[in-house]
Structure 1
Amino acid sequence: MSSPATSSDREKVVSKLPGWLRQNLKIRAAQHGIEIQAAVEQGINAWCSLASTTATVDTAGADSFSTFLPPGQWDEFRQVVADRRVSLIQGLAQAVQLWLDSNPAPDVERPEATRRIVVCNQKGGVGKTAITAGLGEALAEDPNTLHSVRVAKALAKALRASDDQSGSEPASDPLDIESLPGLGLRVLLVDFDPQCHLTNQLGGAPLPMDGDSLTNHMAGSPKGEIRDLIIPVDDDTFGGRLHLLPACNDAFLLDVRLSAVRAREAALERALAPLEADYDVILVDCPPSLGLSMDAAAYYGRRRDGENPGQSGALIVVQAEDSSADAYELLTNQIDDLRSDLQVDIDYLGIVVNLYDSRRGFIATSSLQGWVDIKDPRVVGLIGDLKEQKEAVRMKQPLLSYAPKSQQAIGMRALAREIA
């Protein structure tokens, strides 16, 4: 049942637990940010302190379970189990269940005010839509399920050694992947692009030209309530936490219609204001444009009174190639001009280098280094150019539903935690 003390001055113990109880223990320990061995230690101490045994736990199908406990605790526990005339497996199951009951799942940490993230770049084809969708999916994942996440040190390692990689995705040591609970936030994805890519990729239908649309609400001529336009995204995976405001082709006329609107830079904010109370995060997938619509999007992401820096703002998606750098400069110039003209604070939430493939050689690796060297804003995500994203688009499914264990999905979760 036990082996010599480990280097951490604990002894390995081996018993049995039913699979469902092991899984609950694993998830709850991760939710509270403690190691499983610490949770079992606390549960055994609490169970031994009780005056009697607790309710019987169904241990059918129990199989091997091992952990590390302080020296002597397991022997003391075995004695209490014998005194109470229950099996060792039953005693351990009761101890673990007692810890679970005493440490309920924590509430999801919600922002005090709705965060507004504007995903942008003047250049088309960099994958803004894929990043918008993947980030929103990662923010909305089930908080009672564990998901594979690349931790920050893996991103830093990949950036430092980008020119040494030989594959299409930065190499990752298994130790750099953690199993963490989903963030469980309520997320609204706004398709602000007249090309309707986000809507189509997630299996939605663009809004009809003769009906209501975000453009109508921004132009001051709505045909109904904006919340009536919203559709859910894959409820089975995201539990009703992820929604989409579909696009309409009438957004091609948005700049023309905005030219006649008073305080046009605030048009998107006025349109989306009725929805903010229902969501923790609103992500806006911007068109590749430097027109009035981009002004409205950037203004929507400005820092509001009482809002902390870095809560809302612009997330810039680029590729590791030269034309992205030119477009980046145009975009940042526009945002800086808006800051100056309107006297507002628009924070940069970071740069995401998307569709990265080091096999493209010096252009890719040197361009990546160029993004890393910017420092302000810093690179907060590195997403490889792999097949799963393209397959998910073809299947009209969210990436994190279609390929939840893919390297791209792992990277999206890392991005969500970098900017959370």
Structure 2
Amino acid sequence: MTVPYDPSDREKVVAKLPAELRKELKVRAAELGKDIQDAVAEGVEAWRQAQNRPVVDTAGGTSFATYLPAGLYGKLKKDCKARSISYNQGIAQSIRLWLDDNPSPRPRPARVTGARRIIFGNQKGGVGKTSVSAGVAQALAESGHRTLLIDFDPQGHLTKQLGYPMLDINEASLAKHMLKEAKGELSELLVPIKGGDFENHLWLLPACKDAFLLDAKLATAKAVRIKETALEKALEPLEQDFDYIVVDCPPSLGYSMDTALYYCRTREGEEPGTSGIVVPVLAEDSSADAYDMLYDQVQDLIKDMDVDIDLLGFVVNMYDSRKGYVATSSLDEWHNIGEPPVLAVVPELKDQREAVRVKKPLLVHAPYGGQADVMRTVARRISA
């Protein structure tokens, strides 16, 4: 089974760090495109050569886990003992040193097109669109990006899995705003997702069952091209408030998917790959068949609307090599497509299922597990 480290040459270490130091590490690692475990390892190696490092305030620290190369953990503990400091202080000083040695890169030029728009879609159900979109949104927010997560599926699995109620069918909703049937501002429907190192950076637009009617109403709309532009027009007022808008799409190839695909197109003045679609899949044949249908829909929309839509990549979800040849050969085939690339492989672990069961975000329930690390990898690759 795929894991984020090789047990033969890495070992898990746990320390207690203050929340602000953890957040700074995660943001900086994301900015520089580096795995957190590699950043910590570099910091420890540098700290072992440094002398008289200032004390880091670790009061109120909470659990932080990472993986160090085999043997480095023992050397760190030995050095901490020689310097008469705690192991937690040694880790904290190492991370502080890495942050000091790796300053934040210059901020990118201001975007002229609003938030980057990432949709997660596949017309096949059960491939993990909801879990992957939620996990990646959490990882983007954890690394300091203001992120809006939209439940665009009338089944509302995302909303319910995160422990929030769906919007009442008689009240305002995203679908009603798309159809210009709602009063008030769409921003009034957003709810903050609390917990973890992403708090104050992540919001949810909950689902409403009225989205089941959206395809039929879009199909009968009299205005030209309303079915393609409806989502964009509804979300436009929110775009300047967020760095990323992440959309969990319904498992369909209908008009709702058309409007989501149009929303993530490359806009005028926007660099290719800034926005686009991520396709969660499984390592089995039915996912490949479903992707073929989605690909055809994307190409048809590109031709009909004369736009560019970037396929950012696949996320192979719930992968377990112990399932044998079907799984391993299918994974090889996803990799062999080449373009779009496989962004990451999510291991089949209990973390996400447990998070759903207790209605908590994955990066709150199991922030240092293998699946959480993969979500950070996907977030880092699509934000590069």
Q: Which residue of 1 aligns with 2:181?
A: 221
Secondary structure at 2:318 match in 1: strand
Distance, in Å, in 1 between the alignment partners of 2:160 and 2:58 is: 46
Q: Which residue of 1 aligns with 2:272?
A: 309
Matched residue count? 325
Q: Which residue of 2 aligns with 1:336?
A: 299
Shift of residue 301, structure 1, vs aligned partner: 0.2
Secondary structure at 1:380 match in 2: strand
**How far does the alpha carbon of each residue in 1:256-276 deviate from its partner, in whole angstroms, 9 at most, with x for none?**
111215222010000011111
CA change 1:101–1:398 in 2 (3 A) is closer
Distance, in Å, in 2 between the alignment partners of 1:197 and 1:109 is: 36
2:318 touches 2:347 (CA, 8 Å); kept in 1?
A: yes
Secondary structure at 1:332 match in 2: helix
Structure 2 gap ranges (5+): 1-16, 60-75
Secondary structure at 2:230 match in 1: helix
2:159 touches 2:166 (CA, 8 Å); kept in 1?
A: yes
Distance, in Å, in 2 between the alignment partners of 1:199 and 1:101 is: 36
Shift of residue 239, structure 1, vs aligned partner: 2.4
2:159 touches 2:207 (CA, 8 Å); kept in 1?
A: yes
- Considering only aligned residues, what root-mean-square deviation do their CA atoms show, in Å? 3.5
Q: Which residue of 2 aligns with 1:390?
A: 353
Distance, in Å, in 1 between the alignment partners of 2:260 and 2:135 is: 20
**How far does the alpha carbon of each residue in 1:355-393 deviate from its partner, in whole angstroms, 9 at most, with x for none?**
111121111111111111100111111001211100100
Distance, in Å, in 2 between the alignment partners of 1:299 and 1:59 is: 49
**How far does the alpha carbon of each residue in 1:240-267 deviate from its partner, in whole angstroms, 9 at most, with x for none?**
1011000000000001111215222010
Q: Which residue of 1 aligns with 2:162?
A: 202
CA change 1:138–1:257 in 2 (3 A) is same
Distance, in Å, in 1 between the alignment partners of 2:326 and 2:270 is: 39
Distance, in Å, in 2 between the alignment partners of 1:320 and 1:103 is: 41
Structure with larger Rg: 1
Q: Which residue of 2 aligns with 1:412?
A: 375
Amino acid at match of 1:351: F
Distance, in Å, in 1 between the alignment partners of 2:348 and 2:125 is: 16
Matches within 5 A, 1:161-240: 183-235=143-195, 237-240=197-200
CA change 1:361–1:66 in 2 (3 A) is same
Secondary structure at 1:336 match in 2: helix
**How far does the alpha carbon of each residue in 1:119-167 deviate from its partner, in whole angstroms, 9 at most, with x for none?**
00010110000000000011111xxxxxxxxxxxxxxxxxxxxxxxxxx
Q: Which residue of 1 aligns with 2:316?
A: 353
TM-score, structure 2 as length reference: 0.75
Q: Which residue of 2 aligns with 1:128?
A: 129
1:120 touches 1:288 (CA, 8 Å); kept in 2?
A: yes
Q: Which residue of 2 aligns with 1:166?
A: none
Amino acid at match of 1:374: I
1:43 touches 1:99 (CA, 8 Å); kept in 2?
A: no
CA change 1:109–1:203 in 2 (3 A) is farther
CA change 1:312–1:236 in 2 (3 A) is same
1:218 touches 1:258 (CA, 8 Å); kept in 2?
A: no
2:193 touches 2:199 (CA, 8 Å); kept in 1?
A: no
Please, which of 228, 244, 263 is the counterpart of residue 281 of structure 1? 244
Amino acid at match of 2:204: L
Distance, in Å, in 2 between the alignment partners of 1:60 and 1:326 is: 52
Q: Which residue of 2 aligns with 1:3?
A: none
Matches within 5 A, 1:240-251: 240-251=200-211
2:118 touches 2:277 (CA, 8 Å); kept in 1?
A: yes
Distance, in Å, in 1 between the alignment partners of 2:281 and 2:56 is: 53
Secondary structure at 1:314 match in 2: strand
2:281 touches 2:315 (CA, 8 Å); kept in 1?
A: yes
2:120 touches 2:129 (CA, 8 Å); kept in 1?
A: yes
Structure 1 gap ranges (5+): 1-18, 48-55, 68-86, 142-182
Amino acid at match of 1:199: T
CA change 1:60–1:323 in 2 (3 A) is closer
Matches within 5 A, 1:76-87: none
Secondary structure at 1:228 match in 2: helix
**Matched-pair identity in %:** 48
1:207 touches 1:247 (CA, 8 Å); kept in 2?
A: yes
Please, which of 273, 283, 292 is the counterpart of residue 320 of structure 1? 283
Q: Which residue of 1 aligns with 2:337?
A: 374
Distance, in Å, in 2 between the alignment partners of 1:404 and 1:133 is: 13
Q: Which residue of 2 aligns with 1:117?
A: 118
